[in-house]
Amino acid sequence: MTAIQETHSTTDHHHGDDHHHDHPSWLAHHFDDAEQQYDSGKLGMWLFLVTEVLFFSGMFCAYALYRNRNPEVFEFCSSFLNEKLGAINTGVLLFSSLTMAWAVRAAQLRQHQLLVGMLGATLGCAAIFLGVKSVEYSHKWELGLLPGKFYVAQLEGHHGPHKGYLEMLCAVPALITFLLAAYAVYAWATKSIFHQRVAGPLLTAGICFFGGVLLGQYLEAQEEASKSHGGHHEHHAMAQGHVDHDSHEHAAASDTHTHDHGAPAVPEVSPAVAMGGSPDVYVASEEVNTPKAEVNQRSMAGLFFSIYYCMTGVHAIHILGGMLVISWLIIKAAREEFHEQYFGPVDNVGLYWHLVDFIWIYLFPLLYLIT
Amino acid sequence: MSVVDRPIASPVSPEADSYPTHHFLNHSKGFLSWALTLDHKRIGLMYLVGVMASFALGGLFALMIRIHLWNFKDGWLSNQTYNQVFTLHGAIMVFLFIIPSVPAALGNFLLPIMLGTKDVAFPRLNLSSFYLWVTGLVLFLTALSVTGLDTGWTFYTPYSIETSQGGAVLAATFGVFVLGFSSIFTGLNFIVTINTMRPPGMTWFRMPLFLWAVYATSIIQVLATPVLGITVLLLSAERLLGIGIFDPKLNGDPVTFQHFFWFYSHPAVYIMILPAMGIISELMSVHCHKGIFGYRMIAYSSIAIALFGFLVWGHHMFTSGMADVTAVVFSALTFTVSIPSAIKVFNWLGTMYQGTVSLNTPMLYALAFIFLFTIGGLTGLPLGALSTDMHFHDTYFVVAHFHYVMMGGTLVAFLGGVFHWWPKMTGRMFNDKLGMVSAIIVFIGFNMTFLPQFVLGSRGMPRRYATYLPEFQPLHQLSTIGSLTLGAGLFLALVVLLLSLVNGKKAPRNPWGGATLEWMCSSPPPHDNFSSAPTVGDPYDFSDIEYDGRVGSYVKRS
Ligand code: HEM
Ligand SMILES: [Cu+2]
């Protein structure tokens, strides 16, 4: 420890480069003092968060518009989303916000070990979130619940699950985790405290991703079991591959009625297949009479899934971005760069992380819960 | 009002005004010292070169259009090529030239110096803005060379979803996305710099009006551009994944696209004009040697324009279908935005009144701006009125309107600003007589090009057409001649600027008699702008600034 204490006191008092003799190294040369630097960073981050909110607001607008126009589509489709997985992810993100806030405090108090640990915990939560999300995505792709014109669930020509999506999604994380494991071995072999401090949390996060995948798979299987108990939905969904021509016509005809704003009824897209006589397991029993055939087509359910993938996808990209900057913080924290005068980066990344979390808090009820 | 000819270009001996031997241009050498620089002045200069080159490219496309329209049919371009040429002209001019022109080029150079700081708050972010701009440029050039973009700069759906030029639409929308972030980061940087880095004594109301204008612009950049970002992102998802949100075939709504697009793009027209107005406020008071008239009104009107500008986007869609009430509200709001613009015009005229006008190149451009912008602004009113817009929408009247505000306004002010601060940026004086000739040619050529288009539009000539009725031919030909004149004037302006680098006289510290801080540091400024913290005074107090013939510069009477 003493060695590290020393390094840090040198950074603290070691005066910056060339001509600015009153500037410590952590204070950029064009700022007068620590306070100005901190205030600038903070204001900059808040402005950035404003742009993020506006960026998402476009999609929230689209959600509101189409939900308002076709509420039955949203009701029908949200039952395809697994609330359990959504709830788990909400909990994971909320917890990660706690660890992030704790990290800020640790940075202020020079608790370097704790700081690395808290940042690592946040990173791990983010990885779990993405793991669970991968299970959700791949499961939907298998069912053909794809966006817009690719939506094929229960439509003509969709023949059963195409496995392997989850493996595809896991390939890159697996590679990264493998590399991190190699890095960890190197860190312990060379006995470098710095590398150990960095490699530890990063490798843990890589493993957390697969933990998330397992958790997701377990819960998804459970859901499956309870569903098939009620009515074999998997079979039901997939067995509809063949067109029953009468209901085909019927569906197409009733289709045009629902288009109240003059949009043509999907000419080149094959019309929906009626879901057959047996009650659908996705809808509660009082909704059995919902005209599902009109909903289950590209211009209806497809549009819901477009919005679903756009919103959760852009959100997931923000999680990835957050993971990158948190990793950068871990490196800085392992070098013990932060102290009560200089913790702006941790604070600002924290703000960003809370926003990403906050957006999910909206996405979860809007997409999964409201029916 | 008297016109005084001051010997601004009189020879200056280096020792007289202590021409700096060490300044930001020769602070360090080599390609990398520019490519990786964090100095806001160098970044500003790189932007200046970049936006001028984009302007030249966009201008070539414009001349191609005008030459094509010389005959009413069988022009030299195929219809398909014609569509691509006007699309690229518009897209390059809007996204690559006019939006970054004043804020990113002049603003970057001037903002910290005028404020009295060493740099912007986030120098690295500033450099990355520049590289995002370069990336956007590359993507646009890809769209240009690989396939042809032919959607118009507005990318309206469903055409942009269906056009066979899919790769080009993707490249261009991605380019717009990246350019959007470049613009957001610049705005964010400027807001933070002005809020947190003002030196002691620099209160809000001691800030030069150019900074107020840039501040208001930055607010729009930060608040409006993300919406454009998500819009073009959804549009590329539309092309890649067929998500259908804007596609009527998939139950999507193309009018929603228009709402999203104009929610950004109307405020964006104020991103273009506000900083130009800021330049004019500086030019007017410096070259009239008289304090600006109505400082606070100009400052507040900048903010008012920025805020009102968010509420009027619907006036681009009066004919796209919207509820009657909505249309009336949008129309009424549109009229309210013209009030702060008019306030500014009156204040500039008030500044000239009883001033001592130095009639030189920057001032001529400033005068041209007032004249042309007034026409442009006034013709916005018939477009904002519902009944007349039904007739004018999508005609040459709209084309003339926005060229009067964008080219007659922003471009002319930009040129005025470039001439005004050129001695500061490069340390060289340009040939003022030739500069004035360029201003006059630009003014004549501009009016010859676009006045006939008002007439054409009101007679029913639709925009974006490759052929037209024979009776429109004389006016079209007049317009084409005008555009060539205009091109010649702009070319002359460029020559004047470049010549000054070769054989221009060394510029004194304060060639025009300005009172803002940038005139207190040497020309060109040192690497860190100010060796010691400058004393901040009233930016428009000219009472103690007088011309000193011995040093060929204005000096502060002590
Ligand atoms: C003084 C206040 C202004 C008013 C009342 C006004 C009003 C309008 C209206 C109503 C339209 C839509 C016309 C139509 O398409 O039928 C329009 C178009 C346009 N205006 Fe303005 N305007 C004003 C100032 C400006 C400024 C300052 C700029 C830019 C610097 C600008 C740039 C444009 C552009 C680019 C278009 C056409 C966009 C397109 O369809 O491609 N306007 N203006
Ligand atoms: Cu507008």
Question: Tens digits of per-residue pLDDT, B499-522?
Answer: 999 999 999 989 999 999 999 888
Can you tell me the distance from the alpha carbon of B52 to that of B102, in angstroms, rounded to the nearest whole number? 11
**Ligand 2 midpoint to CA B493 (Å):** 30
Q: What is the pLDDT of residue A157?
A: 54
Find how far residue A245's CA is from the centre of its chain: 41
Neighbours of B44 (CB within 10 A): 23
The per-residue pLDDT of chain B, averaged, comes to: 91
Cα A236 from Cα A246, distance rounded (Å): 19
**pLDDT tens figures, B454-480:** 999 999 999 999 999 999 999 999 999
Q: Residues B102, B275: contact at Cβ < 8 Å?
A: yes
Whether residue B315 has its Cβ less than 6 Å from ligand 1: yes
Percent of chain B with pLDDT over 70: 96
CB within 8 Å of B464: residues ≥ 6 apart: B83, B86, B152, B394
Which residue type sits at B473? Q
Supply the residue whose CA is at minimum distance from atom 20 of ligand 1.
B402
**DSSP E strands, B471-540:** none
Q: Do B230 and A50 touch (CB under 8 A)?
A: no
Q: Which residues contact A6 (CB under 8 A, 6 or more apart)?
A: none
**Where do we find the tokens 């269906």?**
B162
Please report which confidence band the pLDDT of residue B423 belongs to, taking 50, 70 and 90 as the band edges.
very high
Tell me the C-alpha to C-alpha distance, in Å, between residue B19 and each of B64, B514, B532. Answer: 45, 18, 18
In a domain, B8, yes or no: no
CA distances from B324 to A309, B289, B319, B440 (A): 35, 50, 11, 45
**A50 at B interface, C-beta within 8 A:** yes
* Segment B160-170, tens digit of pLDDT: 988 888 888 99
Decide: B540 and B550 in contact? Cβ < 8 Å: no
Q: With a 6 A CB cut-off, is B383 part of the ligand 1 pocket?
A: yes
Of A30, A56, A309, the CB nearest to B119: A30
Q: Which ligand is nearest to the CA of B312?
A: 2
- In a mutational test of the B interface, the residue from A47, A57, A137 whose CB has the highest number of chain B CBs within 10 Å is A47
Instruction: Decide if B89 contacts B107 (C-beta within 8 A).
Output: no
pLDDT(B403) > 70:
yes
- CA dist A138 and A146 (Å) reads 10
Are A322 and A130 in contact by the 8 Å Cβ rule? The answer is no
Amino acid residing at A342: Y
Q: Peptide bond preceding B199: is omega within 30 degrees of 0, i.e. cis? A: no
pTM for the predicted model, two decimal places: 0.88
Question: CA-based Rg of chain B, rounded to a whole angstrom?
Answer: 23
pLDDT of B8: 44
Q: How far is CA A177 from CA A78, A202, A212, B389, in A?
A: 33, 8, 14, 61
Task: Please list the residues that pair with B428 across neighbouring strands.
Answer: B506
Chain A: give the shortest CA distance to residue B125, in Å: 11
In the predicted model, is pLDDT for residue B72 greater than 60? yes
CB B297 within 8 A of CB B346: no
Instruction: Average the pLDDT over B181-207 and give the result.
Output: 94
Residue B15: the pLDDT is 41
Atom of ligand 1 nearest to the CA of B337: 2
Helix (H) or strand (E) holding A337: none
- Say what the pLDDT of residue A96 is: 97
Q: Given this model, what pLDDT does residue A254 score?
A: 39
- Give me the pLDDT at residue A174, please: 95
B317 ligand 1 Cβ < 6 A = no
Band (pLDDT 50/70/90 cuts) for residue B450 is very high
What is d(CA A50, CA B270) in angstroms, rounded to the nearest whole number? 20
CB-count exposure of residue B76 (10 Å: 0-12, 13-18, 19+): exposed
- CATH number (domain holding residue B136): 1.20.210.10
CB-CB neighbors (< 8 A) of B250 in chain A = 148-149, 266, 269, 298-299, 302-303
Q: Is the dihedral of CA B97, B98, B104, B109 positive or negative?
A: positive
| Cβ pair A303:B245 closer than 8 A | yes
Helix (H) or strand (E) holding B547: strand B545-548
Interface test with chain A among B28, B117, B230, by most A beta carbons within 10 Å = B230
Contacts of B106 (CB under 8 A, 6+ apart): B44, B48, B275, B279, B414, B417, B418, B421
**A:302-341 residues touching chain B, CB 8 A cutoff:** 302-303, 306-307, 309-310, 314
Residue B477 neighbours by CB under 8 Å, 6+ apart: B70
Q: What local confidence, expressed as pLDDT, does residue B295 receive?
A: 94
**Domain limits, chain A:** 36-240+275-368
Q: Specify the pLDDT at position A160.
A: 61
Residue B385 domain flag: yes
Low-confidence ranges of chain A (pLDDT < 70): 1-22, 154-162, 228-293
Host domain of residue B425: 41-556
A264 at the B interface (CB within 8 A)?
yes
For residues B110 and B510, the answer to whether their CB atoms sit within 8 Å is no
Shortest distance, CA B465 to any CA of chain A (angstroms): 28
Q: What is the pLDDT of residue B73?
A: 86
Q: pLDDT over 90 for what percent of chain B?
A: 74
Question: Ligand 1, from B398, B407, B414, B450: best to mutate by most atoms within 8 Å of Cβ?
Answer: B398
Distance CA B475, CA B473 (A): 6
The ligand with the least distance to the CA atom of B154 is: 1
Residue B266 CA to ligand 2 centre (angstroms): 4
Res A229: pLDDT: 64
| Nearest CA-CA partner of A142 in A124, A122, A120, A165 | A165
- DSSP lists the bridge partners of residue B547 as B554
Give the pLDDT confidence score for residue A253 in this predicted structure. Answer: 38
The count of domains in chain B is 1
In this prediction, residue A111 carries a pLDDT of: 93
Portion 17-36 of A in contact with B at CB < 8 A: 28-31, 36
Q: Is residue B29 part of a domain?
A: no
Report the DSSP pairing between strands B2-3 and B356-357. parallel
In this structure, is residue B34 part of a structural domain? no
| pLDDT recorded at residue B301 | 94
Separation CA A198–CA A218 (nearest Å)? 31
- Cβ(B151) to ligand 1 under 6 A? no
Q: How far is the CA of A69 from the centre of ligand 1 (A)?
A: 31
* SS3 per-residue string spanning A219-273: HHHHHHHHHHHHHCHHHHHHHHHCCCHHHHHHHHHHHHHHCCCCCCCCCCCCCCC
- B26 domain residue, yes or no: no
Tens of pLDDT along B106-127? 999 999 999 999 999 999 999 9
Domain A36-240+275-368 class? Answer: mainly alpha
Question: Confidence band (pLDDT; 50, 70, 90) for B200?
Answer: confident
Number of the ligand closest to the Cα of B406:
1
Residue B335, class by beta-carbon neighbours within 10 Å (0-12 exposed, 13-18 middle, 19+ buried)?
middle
B273 lines ligand 1 (CB under 6 A): yes
Mean per-residue pLDDT for B332-361?
A: 93
As given in the structure block, the two tokens for residue B377 are: 């602004």
